[in-house]
Chains A and B, each alone.
Chain A
Amino acid sequence: MRVWIRNGKVVDPVNNSVEEYDIIIEGERVSEIAPRGSFELNSEKIQIIEAGGKLILPGLIDMHTHLREPGYEYKETIASGSLAAAAGGFTSIACMPNTDPPNDCRAVTEFILEQAERANLVRVYPIAAISIGQMGERLTEFGDLKEAGAVGLSDDGRPVVNSELMRRAMEYARFHGLTVISHCEDLYLSEGGVMHEGEISTKIGLPGIPAASEEIMVYRDIALARLTRCPVHIAHVSTAESVDLIRRAKEAGLPVTAETAPHYFSLDHRALIGYNTNAKVNPPLRSETDVEAVKQGLKDGTIDAIATDHAPHSPLEKEVEFDKAAPGMIGLQTALSLAFNLVEEGILSLPEAIAKLSLNPSRILGVEGGRISKGQVADIVMVDHKSRYILGEKEIQSKSKNTPFLGKELLGRVEMTMVGGRIVWQRAG
């Protein structure tokens, strides 16, 4: 079966361009890509997708998703998360290990991949735990996990406190070619905190999490990268000083990469006024200054990737007192729209924004995709980038609806998502 996507504007993050190209797909891969009008219909056995001037993007790659299965299937399953990903334009998602049991051994990694295969929607890449049970004591079997299909390592929300363990993890991970992803948080400093510590926490009387609790650990990981010359990827950067530390580490040639999440450049701590638990997230929404710095970090390349930190929670965890509410928000279906806002604001060019959502994560994790070119996997997304709509619960494909963007206007709609030449999502109507 051949597919012809025509009259689209193809965004190319490799060459930093947007061109009117037509694409021919054969089986799972792109067989030809050439300027519009290069191809003629010479066979009936071709499916035509008329893009009509819409954007054609390489499938987005989310390097930071929580799928909740096994263990918390009432929040999300690998199938429901995969569908939410497809609906949001993501063709690949890397899922964090904080499930129950955590993904700290081959059996869990294989289970995740089997469930992903059953769901049969998007590519799912497990991130395995650094330490057994995410307890920060003993290393997991990195090599065995990699063979089973893990693409990275992280203890995510239960950060590695022991710097010696972190050092050894980075060193040993390099041998197996795995990326260590660090959730930077000094747990002593953040303990009891539920939002960014600053003017707003003082005014609305919520215990604060200081920016320093992130920055101290960002610096620790950079120091370890300098010591070991092993790569480390800093997850969900949220503060101005973190951006600055990473910028200087990169200038010094250290193998440090970084991501931020859309909420850190779209919302600040004022979103907590009114105690909306959907705006409670870890790291917390920071100050206006931090938001500006994160945008600058995206603009100058300090921050390589935009990752969702998609964190589904049910009303059981969210419709409760603010202190008790679980941190996190879903993000698979809002990330692209929020990145489009950066393009509108002139912070990023369109190809730069798409690079941070596809090409750069593919390079950091070492997975395929991130570009549309001859011979590449046909992971392709069609987007009406001019359409605006109000996000309602019925649009949300995730099992959980916890997002502060509910009821807000979003820019850009995913019309079609294709994974390996197969359409896995098409917008109704």
Chain B
Amino acid sequence: MGTFSHKDLLGMRQLSVEDINLILETAESLKEISQRDVKKVPTLRGKSIINFFYEPSTRTRTSFEVAAKRLSADTLSLSASTSSMVKGETLIDTARNLQAMNPDLIVLRHSSSGAPHLLAGVMEAGVINAGDGINEHPTQALLDMFTIKEKKGRIEGLEIAIIGDIAHSRVARSNIIGLTKMGASVTVSGPPTMMPLDIHKMGVKVEYDPRKAVEEKDVVMLLRIQLERQSKLLFPTVREYAKFFGINNALVKLAKNDVIIMHPGPMNRGVEIESEVADGPCSVILDQVANGVAVRMAILYLLIGGAKSEGMD
């Protein structure tokens, strides 16, 4: 197995193709642990991991927590409301205080793009970006890529559509960077209000009409529509969004027969995705969640287990 030479996982941007393959292969070998009766290995015994979630999250936080526990690491959860940040402490001061307790990893979710980079600069502990503002959500992209590879056997050469609020989605940004790096062909779709300037410079095709975007696709990835963005004038009403951009069975039929439908959650049923699709045969949404644990175990292992660990058995 190759080596992973990063202290932090800040984004897909920093990862090479080799890094991504290593993470996916490691996740592959760790996935089986979650199927055992005793779902625990001692690999990260004695390591401490702090889940610092400045923004609310259920799925990602739980997934990291489960992943860490299955590797026997000690975990601690902090949220903005329980941290001193509500008392006015700055992020850097919080980071320095946490560092003083000598953790091995910090998993950070934050509403500001670049916050994990700021943290990484002042901490000896590794930092994992669990979603920063509208920038990146690399572990989500990695679990999406793992799922795609699991279902399709490859990433290279696949035709993939990402539909929704591309401009404000960290899931979209990380997937665009990762999937194009791995040789997939990515088409982004959504109303022009949700399409960032110069997005084609990230190596993707733009197709505003979702019917055209899904045509002949191997993978269709939907993004959660943040309903509060209605007030930012990005779409007139939820009803109108659902009518023109919501994915239903009729739309799925335009894609390849064996298309898989993905969604990072949490879903707005009846908005960006109809229940007939979410619960239908093409949906791999729950596989994504299951794979999230394996991928996060792999990342934890590669960052703080590695050569120093006692081995996987």
Contact = CB atoms under 8 A, between A and B. Distances in A.
Interface of A: 197-199, 201-208, 210, 274-275, 316, 319-324
B80 to A, nearest CB: 12
A315 to B, nearest CB: 9
B115 interface: yes
A323 B201 contact: no
A199 B167 CA distance: 12
A198 B113 contact: no
B202 A204 contact: no
Nearest to B168: A207
Given A198-B197, A201-B196, A202-B199, 4 more contacts: A208-B197, A210-B197, A275-B113, A323-B113
Given A204-B113, A205-B136, A206-B113, A321 B197 contact: no
Contact of B91 (A199, A201, A207, A321): A321
B135 A204 contact: yes
Given A202-B197, A275-B117, A320 B92 contact: yes
A199 B113 contact: no
A321 B173 contact: no
Contact of B112 (A202, A274, A323): A323
Contacts of A199: 197-198, 201
A274 B117 contact: yes
Contacts of B113: 204-207, 275, 322-323
A165 B110 CA distance: 41
Contacts of A323: 111-113, 133
Contacts of B199: 202
B15 to A, nearest CB: 15
B135 A206 contact: yes
Interface in B124-149: 132-136
B133 A205 contact: yes
21 contacts: A199-B198, A201-B196, A201-B197, A202-B167, A202-B199, A202-B202, A205-B173, A206-B114, A206-B134, A207-B134, A210-B197, A275-B117, A275-B118, A319-B92, A319-B118, A320-B92, A321-B110, A322-B112, A322-B114, A322-B118, A323-B111
A202 B173 CA distance: 9
Nearest to A196: B197
Interface of B: 13, 90-92, 110-115, 117-118, 132-136, 167, 170, 173, 196-199, 201-202
B201 A320 contact: no
A322 B111 CA distance: 10
Interface centre among A201, A275, A324 (most CB of B within 10 A): A275
Contacts of B133: 205-206, 323
A321 B201 contact: no
Contacts of B13: 203
Contacts, number: 68
A319 B93 CA distance: 10
Contacts of B118: 275, 319-322
Contacts of B92: 319-320
A207 B136 CA distance: 13
Interface centre among B114, B196, B199, B201 (most CB of A within 10 A): B114
Nearest to B201: A199
A198 to B, nearest CB: 5
Across chains A and B, which 4 residue pairs bring their CB atoms closest together, nearest first? A205-B135, A275-B114, A321-B112, A199-B198
Contacts of A207: 113, 134
A135 B112 CA distance: 29
A210 B196 CA distance: 11
Contacts of B134: 205-207
Nearest to B54: A321
Nearest to B133: A205
Contacts of B201: 199, 202-203
A320 B90 contact: yes
Contacts of B136: 205
Contacts of A324: 112
Contacts of B111: 323
A214 to B, nearest CB: 15
Contacts of A206: 113-114, 133-135
Contact of A320 (B91, B167, B170, B196): B91
Contact of A321 (B115, B167, B170): B115
Nearest to B117: A275
A146 to B, nearest CB: 42
Contacts of A198: 197-198
A321 B136 CA distance: 15
B305 to A, nearest CB: 28
Nearest to A274: B117
B224 to A, nearest CB: 16
Contacts of B114: 204, 206, 275, 321-322
Nearest to B232: A192
Contacts of B110: 321
A198 B173 CA distance: 15
Contacts of B170: 205
A198 B117 CA distance: 21
Nearest to A322: B114
Given A321-B114, A323-B112, A202 B90 contact: no
A270 to B, nearest CB: 13
B170 to A, nearest CB: 6
A321 B115 CA distance: 5
Given A208-B197, A320-B91, A203 B112 contact: no
B233 to A, nearest CB: 10
A208 B195 CA distance: 12
Contacts of A204: 113-114, 135
Given A319-B90, A320-B92, A202 B115 contact: no
A185 to B, nearest CB: 18
Contacts of B197: 197-199, 201-202, 208, 210
B115 A203 contact: no
Contacts of B90: 316, 319-320
A203 B167 CA distance: 10
A275 B134 CA distance: 13
Contacts of B202: 202-203
Contacts of A205: 113, 132-136, 170, 173
Contacts of B112: 321-324
A429 to B, nearest CB: 33
Contacts of A320: 90-92, 118
B278 to A, nearest CB: 27
Contacts of A321: 91, 110, 112, 114-115, 118
A319 B91 CA distance: 9
Contacts of B117: 274-275
Given A207-B134, A321-B110, A322-B112, A202 B91 contact: no
